[in-house]
Amino acid sequence: MSHRPACRGRLTSAVATTLALLLPLLAAAQASAQGGTPDRHRIGLYVSDLYSLDLMRDTFGASFWVWAVGPDSALALQTMEFANADQVTVSLESTVPRGAVSWSQRKVTGTFRQAWDLRNFPFDRHSLEILLEEGVQEEGSFAYEADLANSGYGLQAPVEGWRVAGMRVEVVTATYATSFGDPAASSPESRFSRMRAVLQLERVDYTGFLKLTAALYAGVLVCAIGCLMHVTATTFSARISLLVASLFSLVFSMRAASLTLGSEHGATLIDKLHMVGLTYVVVVTAVTVLVRSRLEGATEGMPALIRLDRWSCLGAAGLFVLANVWLMLQAAHRG
């Protein structure tokens, strides 16, 4: 009878020790079931080629290496979706164990959608995005981490007319206002891990700008040359002919620029320059007609009308130049 209290004490101690060991495991299992710590994979991307920048179709082509490091890196790449791709081709896939984790990589070549903004052409700068998104498991159970140290770019050939100013990668959350019909979903929305790779692109070739504005400045120059002729009964017809030629030149030039750059961007810098040019021609035409009408039957005031004609044309030309400089500086600042 004297040993029963001791046995009971040892039994109580064993039960307490077992519970102390099991409670953390049970808590961890419950947290995992409720969406605890997700499987994390370090994702990186290295761009090796950039090509086919199609401003009309709003696309660009790129080749890059993408890799994953984590508990199931092969699965991370298999379930990876390229959210803004029209088409992709995958090659050179590999998976190598690295201790407690695995390292998987693949080469991807594809065409990606890009909303080109040409309002500030030719001083435009663009952010080309490649979006990598987990396509099966939500971020509560499967999450990305950006491999900042190893991600980057090294183009095999330069992009003609452009300069890559830099690249950044970041992990964000892609949220959808649906559970995609999952009967076990606890929320009407879904959240997936997404990595954004953004290449900063700057235009360095201004040949296209010169081609699109050559007719504009030629038309304005012809208009200015016409202003060198004082308005008289004999020169009025010739001057009007030059103004009409200038007007048609600007209209056709503006039409060609709209077809080249598209009209979905709103008023571009090229459009604004043409509008200023058209305003200049219209002002000179109005002054020419005004002076000619005052000259009808006038015997006095000829010098005053000549000065009005000269200074109006010079003033309009000066305002045209200033407006051009201001618009270009504004576009270069906005990019």
Domain residue ranges of the chain, discontinuous segments joined by +: 39-203, 207-334
Instruction: Name the strands in the sheet holding 190-203, side by side, starting at the edge strand that comes first in the sequence.
Output: 80-82, 125-134, 190-203, 162-176
Q: pLDDT tens digit string along 132-151? A: 999 999 988 899 999 999 99
- What was the pLDDT predicted at 298? 60
* pTM listed for this prediction: 0.77
- What was the pLDDT predicted at 131? 96
DSSP string of 171-230, one letter each residue: EEEEEESS-TT-TT-SSSSEEEEEEEEEEEEEE---HHHHHHHHHHHHHHHHHHHHTTSP
- What was the pLDDT predicted at 26? 41
Q: Is pLDDT larger for residue 2 or for residue 169?
A: 169
Buried b or exposed e, range 26-61, using 16+ CB within 10 angstroms: eeeeeeeeeeeebeebbbbbbbeebeebebeeebbb
Q: Is the peptide bond before 122 cis (omega within 30 degrees of 0)?
A: yes
Q: Is pLDDT larger for residue 227 or for residue 296?
A: 227
Q: Measured between alpha carbons, how far apart are the two ends of the chain, in Å? A: 93
- What was the pLDDT predicted at 172? 95
- Output the six-digit token pair for 236: 């009025």
Q: Using an 8 Å Cβ cutoff, are 186 and 102 in contact?
A: no
- Which one of 3.40.50.1100, 1.20.58.390, 1.10.443.10, 3.40.50.1980 gives the CATH number of domain 207-334? 1.20.58.390
Task: Give how far Cα 146 sits from Cα of 77, 143, 178, 249, 328, Å.
Answer: 14, 10, 26, 53, 38
User: pLDDT grade, residue 299 (50/70/90)?
Assistant: low
Chain mean pLDDT for the chain: 85
- What was the pLDDT predicted at 182? 82
The 10 Å Cβ neighbour count of residue 215 is 20
The CATH H-level (homologous superfamily) assignment of domain 39-203 is Neurotransmitter-gated ion-channel ligand-binding domain (2.70.170.10)
Task: Give how far Cα 208 sits from Cα of 121, 160, 161, 203, 274, Å.
Answer: 9, 12, 10, 11, 15
- What was the pLDDT predicted at 301? 54
Total residues found in the chain within this entry: 335
Q: Poorest-confidence range of 10-24, 137-151, 184-198, 231-245?
A: 10-24
Task: Give how far Cα 56 sits from Cα of 32, 261, 267, 317, Å.
Answer: 49, 8, 16, 34
Asked whether residue 265 carries a pLDDT value surpassing 90, the answer given is no
Q: Is pLDDT larger for residue 1 or for residue 222?
A: 222
Asked whether residue 310 carries a pLDDT value surpassing 90, the answer given is no
How far apart, in whole angstroms, are the C-alpha atoms of residue 254 and residue 244? 15
- What was the pLDDT predicted at 228? 80
Asked whether residue 126 carries a pLDDT value surpassing 90, the answer given is yes
How far apart, in whole angstroms, are the C-alpha atoms of residue 194 and residue 98? 24
The CA-based angle 239-325-217, given to 5 degrees, is 35
How far apart, in whole angstroms, are the C-alpha atoms of residue 42 and residue 45? 10
- What was the pLDDT predicted at 85? 95
Q: Using an 8 Å Cβ cutoff, are 53 and 159 in contact?
A: yes
Q: Is 121 helix (H, G, I), strand (E, B) or coil?
A: coil
Closest CA to 73 of 158, 134, 12: 134
Task: Give how far Cα 298 sits from Cα of 243, 284, 293, 302, Å.
Answer: 24, 21, 9, 8
Mean pLDDT score, 269-276:
94
Q: SS3 breakdown of the chain: % helix, strand, coil, rounded to 5?
A: 40, 30, 25
Q: Is pLDDT larger for residue 151 or for residue 301?
A: 151
Residue with tokens 């005052």: 294
